[in-house]
Amino acid sequence: MDTRHPPFHRLADLAESKLGEADRAMAQQHVSGCARCSRDLEWLSHMIELMRTDRTEAAPEHVILRAVRLFSQHQAGAQPKSADMVHRLIGVLRFDSAAAAPAFGLRVGADEATRQLLFAAEPYEIELRTSSAADGATVVGQLLGPAGPVDSADVELVGADARVQARLSDLLEFSLPAVPPGTYRLELRLDQAIAIEIPSLHLG
């Protein structure tokens, strides 16, 4: 009798009845006299049966992403904070009501001082509405995407002459205080693990 232990994949093939007759007979002969391989085969057969009879549905994508974010946050909490631990996404302009005909279901109002923009930073999208008035320019927006609610999120608008902040609401909406006209950088920081940046946003 061959005393060499069959490799793990051959035991798996034996458990799933994928071996030819001669190979199956040889493997069964070895397993019948080898306590170690007999235990491995019994465990494999049990696992295969569990997988075949499992009717559990996969978790929704937003639940999986949420779990990944929470795990990343937990890992980060056990180590010194570092910029390298932040996953940074850059928003890409997909729609600007001031430059193109309405798209993506957005509607431009009669007030030309109001501008609508849509930025993509997969798997997120950021919808913005900017307005100009005598007291300055304002930005309101909403975070869209498949990840579901976030534990916390800070929104910051930074320019040469002003820096303002806000928090996301439960509906993932935000409203920033008025700022002087100019070019700004907008950043949304989610759960201290993901940062979405719009590097150049012209207001006014």
Q: Give the chain's domains with CATH numbers.
A: 8-53 (no CATH), 82-203 (2.60.40)
What local confidence, expressed as pLDDT, does residue 109 receive? 46
Say if pTM beats, i.e. exceeds, 0.85.
no
Q: How many CB atoms lie within 10 A of CB 51?
A: 8
In this prediction, the residues of the chain whose per-residue pLDDT falls under 70 are 1-3, 54-84, 100-112, 146-152, 192
- What pLDDT, on the 0 to 100 scale, is given for residue 112? 60
Q: What is the pLDDT of residue 140?
A: 96
pLDDT single digits (tens) 130-181: 999 888 999 999 998 765 556 668 999 999 989 999 998 888 899 999 999 9
pLDDT of residue 7: 81
